[in-house]
Structure 1
Amino acid sequence: MKLTYTETDGYLIPDLVLPETDTRPIGKYGELRRQFLKKHRPDLFDLMLLEGTLHSHLADVDTEARQMVEDTINQIARQQGVDEALKQADPLAWAGRMNAIKNAAEEVVLPDLLYGDALE
């Protein structure tokens, strides 16, 4: 691989091109993972960025986190009897309980998945 340079104000700047990356959306959980890596694991963040694997890692984490949160929400809702009957009878109570269930599901799933060192 031959490295080329561009002269700018008397300085030679290398013409670096990052490898092609995944184009899947990152989403909420992928963005949370990105922020964590950038702040707490900058070495890993930079390495993945330079290797072109960061975006696909973030998209994978987002997909996995969404699925796990959704599964946990469904499981907790079934256990607590939050169903379509409650939604029809009292939509406001249903929405409040579903929000609480979603928050509980995220508290269970996200710490290890987004903030753990699953890569090592």
Structure 2
Amino acid sequence: MEKYIYNEQNGLWYELQGDYYIPCLELPAEKEERHIGVWGQRHLRYIREHKRVFYTNLLTSGKLQSHLADIEEQAENMYNRLIEEMAERQGVTETLKAEQPMEWIGLMNNIQACAREVVNNELIYA
């Protein structure tokens, strides 16, 4: 039996695997490689576990990487903006950092945790 055969009816190549011919299929290539960081990885894990149809549609259409990169970019921008706004509203300044560094660290850790929670709820797990 031949290793590869071509079916003219559907235009697909088939490869012999054991006793069966399996179609030679591949996913469409992504247009560009973009960075996917911690936010994108969290979103990937979430959609893979909880939104399987959406995940499969993105994967088979070749749009998964660009979707994750978009989420990464949006989440990072939102996180940084929230930290700046919360720090300004709570009066966490460079002066406080110079005069009382331990208090500044505690306040900034709290602000970062709050911003992380907002980003997770609004973008990552939505």
Q: Name the TM-score class by shorter chain.
A: 0.7 to 0.9
Please state whether the residue corresponding to 1:18 is helix, strand or coil: coil
Q: 1:30 — aligned with what?
A: 40
Write out aligned runs for 1:5-16 (5 A).
Answer: 5-16=14-25
Unaligned runs of 5+ in 1: none
Q: How does 1:33-52 map to 2 (within 5 A)?
A: 33-52=43-62
Q: Report the AA paired with residue 23 of structure 1.
A: E
2:124 maps to 114
More helix by percentage: 1
Which structure shows the bigger proportion of residues in strand conformation?
2
What is the alpha-carbon root mean square deviation over aligned residues?
Answer: 1.5
From the CA coordinates, give the structure whose radius of gyration is larger.
2
Q: TM-score, normalization: structure 1?
A: 0.87
Give 3-state SS (helix, strand or coil) of 1:4's partner: strand
- Quote how far apart the aligned CAs of 1:93 are: 2.7
TM-score, normalised on structure 2? 0.84
Match of 1:95 among 105, 111, 115: 105
Aligned residue among 58, 67, 71 for 1:57: 67
**Runs (4+) of structure 1 moved beyond 6 Å?**
none
- How many equivalent pairs are there? 116
Given the alignment, which residue of 85, 88, 92 partners 1:82? 92
